[in-house]
Amino acid sequence: MSAPKILVIPGSLRTGSHNARLAALATKELALAEAEVTRISLADYPLPLFDADLVTDSGLPAAAVQLKRMVMAHQGVFITSPEYSASVTPLLKNTIDWMSRGRDRGEANYTAFKGRVFAIGAASGGSGGGMRSLMALRQILELGCGALVSPEQIAVPRADQAFDDMDNLKDEVLAAALKAAVRRLVELAGVLA
């Protein structure tokens, strides 16, 4: 059986983002779990605010098509999401809204979310670790887009103190939760490989 291809998407562009650090650590853990891993930055896929009239008038922006194709080239996707106002970042929601639209080669809406498995994680400076962001992201992916989202997830509280000098998680329970989320993602994506 070939190694599953996993895409890692940090849902933040902020310099020094805790979620970018979590995404980097997830990338390392996925490689150790023998997955073929690609990590991207949403800065490389700039998108306007979603507007259905833009889709009608001009079709999908090139960046949305490229991102959809990138997602569809992988059996699994790991998304990290900061918590903004008890939800996901506007950047991440806008990206999902654009990717959820069809029109590329006559595809149906939500094609990028079907036939692959998603795993989610969050890191936050607060004591909740971004848990409300994870609940919102799970709802968007599962209910909104019809995606399969692994039940294992990682929420890193007090993220400004959670990583050591080597960017590993200091807390053994959190490190084990990340490994469990990664293992389940690789396992489920391996079925699709």
**Above pLDDT 70, what percent of the chain?**
97
How high does pLDDT run on average in the chain? Answer: 94
pLDDT over threshold 70, residue 1: no
pLDDT tens for each residue of 152-162? 999 999 999 99
Enclosing domain of residue 42: 5-192
User: Please, which residues have CB within 8 angstroms of residue 22's CB and are 6 or more apart in sequence?
Assistant: 10, 80, 121, 122, 123, 154, 156, 159, 178
pLDDT over threshold 90, residue 105: no
CATH code, domain with 179: 3.40.50.360
pLDDT tens for each residue of 173-193? 999 999 999 999 999 999 986
Number of domains forming the structure of the chain = 1
Strand order across the beta sheet in which 36-39 lies: 36-39, 5-10, 76-80, 117-123, 148-156
> Is 81:134 a contact under the CB 8 Å cutoff?
yes
pTM for this one?
0.95
